[in-house]
Structure 1
Amino acid sequence: MDSEDSRTPRLYSHRPILTPITPSIIASYRSTRLLALGTDPSAFGSNYNREVVFTDDIWTVRLEPSERRSWITLQGVVQPEGDSDWFAGGEAGVATMTILSPCAAVNLPLAWDQFEKTGLTADWDIFIIHGMWVDPAHRGRDVAVELLKTGKEWARGFDIENWVEGEENQVSGSLGSCSKENGCVPKKRMLALNVTEGNAAAHAFYRKVGFVDAPNVPTPAGQSCMVMEIG
């Protein structure tokens, strides 16, 4: 990498994907996701050939639920908050991340069971990071650090109690409803993710930003779990 280029200030905006899911949002997310799968295939549980044939309906189902949140990091000029034209060009971003709240993860056995089997879900509300990726050309510039900060704030502010009690509730009873009003002490919250074994750079980065290894959490072959308390 050119040393002068590495010193050049760059501006990044970590934009949440919100409803309604428009064709330009789908185009931008699809481009970013497929770029990630093609660039770092070993880092994902899915693959390019599987997702390149996804229809717009499939992408919409991935992006629409309010109990999960996806972000695309864009490089360029800051636009005003509330601007609806962030993804108008449909181009790929330089980073992406999805976080599943407990309300989403509880309905996905592959994601949830690894924590339920260890008893962690009894004491913790676990927010699972999925599909974290930064374009290699933009690594080392704190893009991932800032993206994680954005995700952490969303997870801290996610209203689990009202979501579980509301009309959207389709989760099992394992979450339940907990509030000071009913004499229940809300659980602490943590972020969790699986990292590919042998990816020393990823492990080092996540440790640097506050994650610790969770060796007792069962994971798919070739992966290990890391967690971070967020309050």
Structure 2
Amino acid sequence: MPFEIIQIPRDDTSVRLYVERYKAFRLLSLKTDPDAFGSNYAREAAFTDDVWYQRLANPQVTTFLALQSDQVVCMISIAGPLPCTPEESTPSKDPWTILSGDPKYVATQSHYRMIGMFTLPTARGQGIATAIIAKALQFGVHEAAKSGKSFVASIAVEHDNPVAIGLYKKCGFKTIVKEPWFRDRPRIALLLKYSPTSEVGEIPVE
């Protein structure tokens, strides 16, 4: 089935247009596959409307939606540039917290974290996830170029999620960190890194 990928603008009109769909899909993601995220449904269901609005309006976060027949079937956000390199960050730390790091940090690269990635089970196997990741990576490369810095991305995933790990490796990510993660229960978290100039290759194009 055909699909389209849209980038949600951060102006007030656009945020108000999409915020309810964003909220609904995020909560559906947390309910459908609770082990795939660092957060959980109960925590985010308690968010106020202002929290959801600020997530979409945040100038350091850009969100992409994949639509089929006007239904949201996949979503990803890309946050950055972060005040740290992938090697200096951690897979278990809340990326929204990382964004508010040391303002005096001088970056040599533009490091972006991919967050909130989820595809509805009924929409998997159609190339949608690969396409939306490519869009997010292309956005990051473009933004990094504006600052004259090289682009690098990271994404966190639980170690026993082989489908997600396989997807990210297909898109050019490689594992750089493995660590314990104890938010709701004992887990092992992985941090994967993507760099267009490394041996992992170029940004995939669907």
TM-score higher than 0.5: yes
Mapped contact 1:191–1:230 kept (Cα < 8 A)? no
Question: What is the rounded CA distance, in whole Å, between the counterparts of 1:148 and 1:207 in structure 2?
Answer: 11
Secondary structure of 1:106 counterpart: coil
Give 1:151-230 correspondences, 5 Å limit. 151-158=136-143, 186-215=148-177, 220=181, 221-230=187-196
Relative to structure 1, is the Cα distance of residues 142 and 61 closer, same or farther in structure 2, using a 3 angstrom cutoff?
same
Q: Return the offset for 1:230.
A: 2.7
Other-structure match for 1:7 = none
Cα RMSD (Å): 2.7
Quick check: which one's strand share is greater? 2
Structure 1 residues 133-176: Cα deviation after superposition (integer angstroms, max 9, x where no partner): 101111111001110111011101115766xxxxxxxxxxxxxx
| Correspondence for 1:149 among 107, 121, 134 | 134
141-150 vs 201-210, greater mean Cα deviation: 201-210
TM-score by length of 2: 0.75
Q: In structure 2, give the amino acid aligned to 1:14.
A: I
Question: What is the rounded CA distance, in whole Å, between the counterparts of 1:75 and 1:110 in structure 2?
Answer: 30
2:142 matches 1:133: no
Other-structure match for 2:64 = 71
Give 1:44-123 correspondences, 5 Å limit. 44-76=37-69, 93-102=72-81, 105-106=82-83, 110-111=94-95, 123=108
Q: In structure 1, give the amino acid aligned to 2:159.
A: E
**What percent of counterpart residues are identical?**
25
Runs of 5+ unmatched residues, structure 2: 182-186, 198-206
Mapped contact 1:152–1:230 kept (Cα < 8 A)? no
